[in-house]
Amino acid sequence: MKIGTKAIHAGVHPDEATGAIMTPIYQTSTYVQDGVGNHKGYEYSRTQNPTRHALEKSIAALENAKHGACFGSGLAAIDCLIKMLNPGDEVISTNDLYGGSYRIFKTIFEKYGIVFHFVDMLKVQNVEEMINSKTKMIWIETPTNPMMNIIDIKGMVSIAKGKDIMVCVDNTFATPYLQNPLDLGADVVMHSVTKYLGGHSDVVMGALVTSDEEIASEMYRIQNSSGGVTAPMDSFLVLRGIKTLHVRIQRHCENGERIAKFLENHSRVDKVYWPGFESHTNHEVAKNQMRGFGGMISFTLKGNRLEDALEIVKKVELFSLAESLGGVESLIGHPATMTHASIPKNVREQSGVVDSLIRLSVGIEDAEDLLEDLDQALSD
């Protein structure tokens, strides 16, 4: 089944009671039993809920996985994953990552004895040199947030093979429509469902998917024990959003390409970070492991002045200055003071998050209108 068909049909079925084509919102906390332990597969909605269950099956199917679990946020999903580790275990993470991921690693889990190493993952060798007997996880974002770096998933899998190391991929930017890390050998995929899977800026949610039975068992145990689950109404909204995932991502990609090329030729722009350029580092890797290059773009300004960046993000009219990404509307952000403010200045600048860096989440509006908006905002 092709992914566009999966997006509409996978994991969902007409309601048996009514024939409703859309999965009902089971807004309930508990379920009546015919006798002790004699129930219809549901006992308590923290453990399982029919609406959430349908969504978990849908996301798993999109990623060609056997198991899926949904959480109250992307960070709650990461929280579940790191809780599979033990004190003394070590994690090798990309050094260019979402600020919230960095924050939960450093300020929450580090004090419980888990060691995190942040490494430039553009070369597989850099990670291979960091692996030791305590390494239990390789944490990958690709494309990365906000530098759009492309990490070779197959390469990372090859150096982890046979070493009892989980390879985990944050696939939020690419979505299952453009990239399927499990097919490339990864063990776990994480999504901030808030972004492209939901697609309408009205839900906060996270998800994990895997085909590994042992990891899945731990995933469900922690999901139930820690209780960071998502609600039935939110699950319904994402089920609805996923039905248009393929057509939305196609438009995001088309608009993203036009805007990236416009910025590349603008006199005020210094560098443009978008995986579709042949000059982009690891562009060939992107071509091999992705089916398109997406609608996320970052760029810096000539002179690298903070005040210039702050002026531009205020001058836009169609682009909204906001956190988050992946919705149908176009967003603009300033990573150094917004999404990545929790990362120390010297650390973020080493990975390229300089003061003039601006990040765009290109929406699905008419591209001509978006180009006009950026042109007027960039004008002197």
The pLDDT tens digits of the residues spanning 188-225 come to 999 999 999 999 999 999 999 999 999 999 999 999 99
Lowest mean pLDDT among 59-73, 108-122, 262-276, 340-354: 340-354
Q: Read off φ and ψ for residue 208, nearest 5 degrees.
A: -125, 140
Is 196 marked active-site?
Answer: no
DSSP-H helix ranges across 41-139: 50-62, 74-82, 99-103, 124-128
Q: Is pLDDT at 347 greater than 90 in this prediction?
A: no
Is 177 marked active-site?
Answer: no
Q: Is pLDDT at 38 greater than 90 in this prediction?
A: no
Number of Cβ atoms within 10 Å of the Cβ of 247:
13
Which two three-digit tokens encode residue 93? 């993470």
CATH fold of the domain at 245-378? Aspartate Aminotransferase, domain 1 (3.90.1150)
CA distances from 54 to 22, 30, 59, 75, 223 (A): 11, 17, 9, 21, 16
Is 46 marked active-site?
Answer: yes
Kindly name the residue from 31, 46, 83, 271 that is annotated as catalytic: 46
CB 170 within 8 A of CB 186: no
Kindly name the residue from 195, 248, 251, 359 that is annotated as catalytic: 195
CB 274 within 8 A of CB 147: no
Kindly name the residue from 170, 234, 355, 373 that is annotated as catalytic: 170
* pTM of model > 0.85: yes
Domain ranges of the chain: 3-242, 245-378
Torsion angle in degrees (nearest 10) through CA of 225, 230, 236, 239: -80
| 67-71 vs 90-94, strand pairing mode | unpaired
pLDDT at residue 361, rounded to an integer:
98
The arithmetic mean of pLDDT across residues 3-13, rounded, is 93
pLDDT at residue 307, rounded to an integer:
97
Q: Round the CA-based radius of gyration of the chain to a whole number and report it.
A: 21
Element counts in the chain: helices (H) and strands (E): 14, 12
Edge-first strand listing for the sheet containing 296-301? 269-273, 296-301, 358-361, 331-333, 320-321
Kindly name the residue from 6, 26, 52, 98 that is annotated as catalytic: 98
Q: Is pLDDT at 37 greater than 90 in this prediction?
A: no
Separation CA 374–CA 368 (nearest Å): 10
The arithmetic mean of pLDDT across residues 222-230, rounded, is 98
Is 44 marked active-site?
Answer: no
Separation CA 364–CA 326 (nearest Å): 10
Architecture of the domain delimited by 3-242: 3-Layer(aba) Sandwich (3.40)
